[in-house]
Structure 1
Amino acid sequence: MTITYSCIANGRAVLAELALTGGSYQEAAAKVLSLVLFTARPETTVQMGSYVYHTLLIDGITYLCATDNALDMGAPSAFLREVSDTFTRNPLMSQEHFCPSHAVAADFQQVLGQYMDKEFQKTTEIPRRIWWKYYKKIVIITMTILLSIIIILLSTNVIPL
């Protein structure tokens, strides 16, 4: 699972956004933002096309990310929490100072990119660990079979000592 798009919105107005891949995220994100405003639920997950949109609504600010797979719900949730914590801790991120044309929006795009990259590294690390476990099992099984064959051949005097 990869986070491919993220944005922060105040109502329907997108304050900062970043897409790692090409795609029509803005149109789908606008629909999801409308849905979030209508339902006013703190967390929402919506499937649109080949992407799953996850949202976190805190104090009128919506944190949204799009993933390419619906299997893992933990990574998007953790990503949105980290982004919201960073956003609310920074005094320049207050609603009075933060607008899409402001330079802070561009700075926060970098923050989004860092968190998206961090989540991507975590998700690619897990399959690598699983592959190494599988590889170790294959090596151990192969060595056990070879050792068994050698012992059998030695005990039947097929291979002389």
Structure 2
Amino acid sequence: MTITYSCIANGRVVLAELALTGGSYQEAAATVLKLVLLRAEPKTITQMGSYVYHTLFVNGITYLCATDNAFDSVGPSAFLKKVSDTFVKNPLMSQEHFSPSHAVAADFQQVLGKYMVKGFQNTRKIPRRVCRKYFKKIIIITVAIVLSIIIILLSINVIPT
């Protein structure tokens, strides 16, 4: 799972965005933002083209990211939660009415970039842990089957004792 695009929007107005790879994310993101506003659900997952768009909708602000893997929803959810927590703590957001500004965009492009790269590094470690876990299970099952076969063969005297 790689987060390739992320943005923060107030309604349909994008406050900050960052794409780590080339692609036309803006059109799909605009469509997803429209769907989020219509549904008003806290979390949504939408597949458009070869990307999956995950959103977190909190207090009128939509946090959105695009991934290249439809099967992982934990990583993007954690990423969006971390970005929303950071966004809320920003002093520019403490104003009663805020509008998109270059200060917000510049601040959060760096934040988005940092979290996107950090999330990518963390998710590369997950498959190794999963492989080790399944490898151990396979070895235990194999040993159990071999021992069972040996016991059965010994009990019916196929293997002389």
TM-score of the two chains, using structure 2 as the length reference? 0.77
Q: Please list the CA deviations of residues 21-40 of structure 1 after superposition, one character each: whole Å capped at 9, or x if unmatched.
A: 00110000000000000111
**What's the counterpart of residue 116 of structure 2?**
116
Paired residue secondary structure (2:8): strand
**Once superposed, what is the RMSD of the aligned Cα atoms?**
2.1
Sequence identity, in percent?
A: 74
Paired residue secondary structure (2:84): helix
Q: Please list the CA deviations of residues 95-137 of structure 1 after superposition, one character each: whole Å capped at 9, or x if unmatched.
A: 64451x4223112100000110111011101224456676xx9
Q: Is the 8 A contact 2:9 2:63 kept in 1?
A: yes
**What's the counterpart of residue 156 of structure 2?**
none
Counterparts of residues 107-146 of structure 1 (less than 5 Å): 107-130=107-130
Counterparts of residues 65-104 of structure 1 (less than 5 Å): 65-94=65-94, 96-99=97-100, 101-104=101-104
What is the rounded CA distance, in whole Å, between the counterparts of 1:73 and 1:51 in structure 2? 13
What is the rounded CA distance, in whole Å, between the counterparts of 1:72 and 1:54 in structure 2? 10
Q: Is the 8 A contact 1:83 1:112 kept in 2?
A: yes
Structure 2: runs of 5 or more not aligned: 140-161
Counterparts of residues 15-94 of structure 1 (less than 5 Å): 15-94=15-94
Runs of 4+ in 1 over 3 A off after TM superposition: 94-98, 128-134
Q: Is the 8 A contact 1:98 1:105 kept in 2?
A: no
Q: Is the 8 A contact 1:55 1:64 kept in 2?
A: yes
Paired residue secondary structure (1:21): coil
Aligned length: 137
What is the rounded CA distance, in whole Å, between the counterparts of 1:104 and 1:55 in structure 2? 19
**What's the counterpart of residue 155 of structure 1?**
none
